[in-house]
Amino acid sequence: MSKNTVIEDEFYMFAKMAGLVQHSPKTFVFDGRKYTANAQADASVVKSFGGKARAYKLLRHARLIQYLAATPEGAHITGMVAKSFDAVSRKYPILRSYYDGTMIGGDHHAWLRC
């Protein structure tokens, strides 16, 4: 099991300071509301993060922060996590789309139906 880096620890600290509390690997509470964040990644993505636990934790946090930042009650998150989120996104470029979405205060989804 890999240890968090300083960059990751700062990211989680600022997320917690913004009001995001993780109760279990998938369960978070923000502003009195419970959220379940799921993550899925293939072997190459997991490897790029340095392990499954790290990959899933970062993916869940990044996605939830992006989602919450686009809501009125979570609008303050952007200012609180911006610097640490940028740093962790530079270290793990796959998180860049979550960071970019958070900075513009928007959310995006795409899917195909064949």
Angle at 81 between CA 74 and CA 11, to 5 degrees: 125
- pLDDT tens for residues 64-105? 999 999 889 998 999 999 999 999 999 999 999 888 888 877
d(CA 31, CA 55): 25
- The more confident residue out of 3 and 71 is 71
Q: What tokens appear for 98 in the block? A: 């979550």
**Domain map (residue ranges) of the chain:** 6-104
Q: How far apart are CA 26 and CA 28, in angstroms?
A: 7
Beta pairing, strands 33-36 & 27-30 = antiparallel
pLDDT, tens digit (0-9, with 9 covering 90-100), for 27-58: 999 999 999 999 888 999 999 999 999 999 99
Q: What is the pTM of this model?
A: 0.87
pLDDT over 90 (residue 2): no
